[in-house]
Amino acid sequence: MSKVVLTSGAVFLALALASGPAAGQSGVSVQLALDKPVDLNITDAPISQVFLRLTEATGVRFVIGQDVYACLPYGDQTRLAVKLKNVTLRNALSPMLTPQAMEWRIEKDAVRILPTAPILRLIRRTTYEELLGLGRILSVKLQPVDKGGLVLDQLRTATGNKNLKLNFHAKTDKQEAAKAGVERANLALPCTGAQWLDMLCHGRGWTWYLRGDEVVILEQKMQIHRQLQQQVSLRYEGADLTTVLLDLAHKARVLLNMDPGVMDYVPVETRKNFNLIMSEATIAQALAVISGATGLQFVTENQGIRIEASEKLKLSVEQAAGASSKRSPFFLKTSIPLANGSTLEAYIRADDLPAEVQTIINAEKARLVEALLKKYNITTTQPTTQPAE
């Protein structure tokens, strides 16, 4: 098993500790513990032991999800060597985690370890070499071109990969990108390789990720599409549809935007009692099933997906509303004798009857109205009957 050796205030943290000596500490206690100097020397151990030892040394509870393990070359079996001497955890955490493409934040009474955006964009487990290369792109500072040379050469040196190259998959002319994007990104130097790549993509609708020997530059919409291709197993029974959509967006790590009032187009029973069971399907396939069942559409945008009502759904809702408002009122009452001797009274609308019957009834209504007008000596210029609908 490969291992990462980090000294002078650098370590990789990896295990979710839901219990332990620090399980009940308050947010203030976490802040105090982060400022406590710590000495720790671990020659070679699985990350679970690294976490246990670090918690014992500092009293800080660390929380990490499966999304972190899913990014690591060997998951929770990655072996590490750690050496810290008289440094506070607050000062050590970022230098420890950034080379491993991880970051941290305080959450109430614990410190949560998270994957960085660049490692998540790979959409799979990194290889050992990819993790090392990405960690260096995130942590090693590049120099201005006039001092350090071409940025690509500096990236090759920083990652230790002499074959590293930029691969433009974005819809752009590579020469134009080299002239405009690279020149603009160079203005940000000195900065880390990751910051330089972010500047290269900024304002162009692009993003990037490291894959093997290449840094792939692609459109953000294409990246969203890649993230929607992740395979998942789903089981939603009697669930709120909005909750289902939010959960799928969370699994894909994309933003979810809804057009105002879009969920009102979906029948309440469907919206409040939605069922979806799928095994080893992509998130995109799940969204396609939801679209077919509801008429909602999912539009890929730079930052995520937007939900809108399809034209067919809008038309069907409008037609249903129009048909309801245009239906003729009850105008015929009839009694139906039943076998047990009782009588059922039924009210029938004009549009439920054949046209011939409607004509006969309207004629009878006209004669009745005319008789009433004569009886009470009323003169009117308005039609005495309304045509049956």
| Both structure tokens of 121 | 């964009």
Q: What is the pLDDT of residue 178?
A: 60
**β-pair partners for 167:** 216
Given a cut of 50, is residue 351 above it in pLDDT? yes
Given a cut of 80, is residue 85 above it in pLDDT? yes
Given a cut of 90, is residue 329 above it in pLDDT? no
Q: What is the percentage of the chain residues whose pLDDT exceeds 90?
A: 50
Give me Rg for the CA atoms of the chain: 34
Q: What is the pLDDT of residue 12?
A: 38
For residues 187 and 373, what is the distance between their CA atoms, to the nearest angstrom? Answer: 92
Reported as a pLDDT band with limits 50, 70 and 90, residue 16 is very low
For the segment 142-147, the average pLDDT, to the nearest whole number, is: 95
Q: What is the pLDDT of residue 273?
A: 94
What class does CATH assign to 3-115? alpha beta
Given a cut of 80, is residue 175 above it in pLDDT? no
For the segment 53-66, the average pLDDT, to the nearest whole number, is: 86
Given a cut of 70, is residue 232 above it in pLDDT? yes
**β-pair partners for 42:** 82
For the segment 285-311, the average pLDDT, to the nearest whole number, is: 94
Q: Of 146-155, 237-246, 336-345, where does mean pLDDT reach its minimum?
A: 336-345
Q: What is the pLDDT of residue 324?
A: 55
What is the distance in angstroms between the CA of the first residue and the CA of the last residue of the chain?
Answer: 81
Residue 13's nearest CA partner among 46, 51, 63, 56 is 51
Please tell me which residue, 301 or 350, carries the higher pLDDT value: 301
Q: Mind listing the pLDDT tens digit for each residue in 111-124?
A: 999 999 999 999 99
To the question of domain 228-317 being in CATH 3.55.50.30, the answer is yes
Secondary structure in 3-state letters for the chain = CCEEEECCCECCCCCCCCCCCCCCCCHHHHHHHHCCEEEEEEEEEEHHHHHHHHHHHHCCCEEECHHHHCCCCCHHHCEEEEEEEEEEHHHHHHHHHHHHCEEEEEECCEEEEEECHHHHCCCCCCCHHHHHHHHHHHHCEECCHHHHCCHHHHHHHHHCCCCCEEEECCCCCHHHHHHHHHHHHHCCCCEEHHHHHHHHHCCCCEEEEEECCEEEEEEHHHHHHHHCCCEEEEEEEEECHHHHHHHHHHHHCCEEEECCCHHHHCCHHHHHCEEEEEEEEEHHHHHHHHHHHHCEEEEECCCEEEEEECHHHHHHHHHHHHHHHHCCCEEEEEEEECCCCCEEEEEEEHHHCCHHHHHHHHHHHHHHHHHHHHHCCCCCCCCCCCCCC
For residues 135 and 127, what is the distance between their CA atoms, to the nearest angstrom? Answer: 12
Given a cut of 50, is residue 388 above it in pLDDT? no
Q: What is the pLDDT of residue 18?
A: 33
Residue 254's nearest CA partner among 289, 217, 229, 275 is 229
User: Are 330 and 343 contacting, i.e. CB atoms less than 8 angstroms apart?
Assistant: no
User: Are 49 and 17 contacting, i.e. CB atoms less than 8 angstroms apart?
Assistant: no
Please tell me which residue, 159 or 45, carries the higher pLDDT value: 159
Q: What stretch(es) of the chain map to CATH 3.55.50.30?
A: 3-115, 228-317
* pTM, 2 dp: 0.73
At a CB cut-off of 8 Å and minimum separation 6, what does 119 contact? Answer: 71, 101, 102, 126, 131, 134
User: Distances in Å between the alpha carbon of 184 and those of 175, 197, 199, 318?
Assistant: 14, 11, 7, 51
Mean pLDDT score across all residues of the chain: 84
Q: What is the pLDDT of residue 169?
A: 82
At a CB cut-off of 8 Å and minimum separation 6, what does 341 contact? Answer: none
Question: Residue 61's CB: how many other CB atoms inside 10 A?
Answer: 26
Q: What is the pLDDT of residue 9?
A: 34
Given a cut of 70, is residue 162 above it in pLDDT? yes
Given a cut of 60, is residue 387 above it in pLDDT? no
User: Are 310 and 296 contacting, i.e. CB atoms less than 8 angstroms apart?
Assistant: yes
Given a cut of 70, is residue 171 above it in pLDDT? no
Reported as a pLDDT band with limits 50, 70 and 90, residue 6 is very low
**Residue that has been written with the tokens 């050590």 in this structure:** 92
Q: What is the pLDDT of residue 173?
A: 59
Q: What is the pLDDT of residue 139?
A: 96
φ and ψ at 344, to 5 degrees?
-105, 125
Q: What is the percentage of the chain residues whose pLDDT exceeds 70?
A: 82
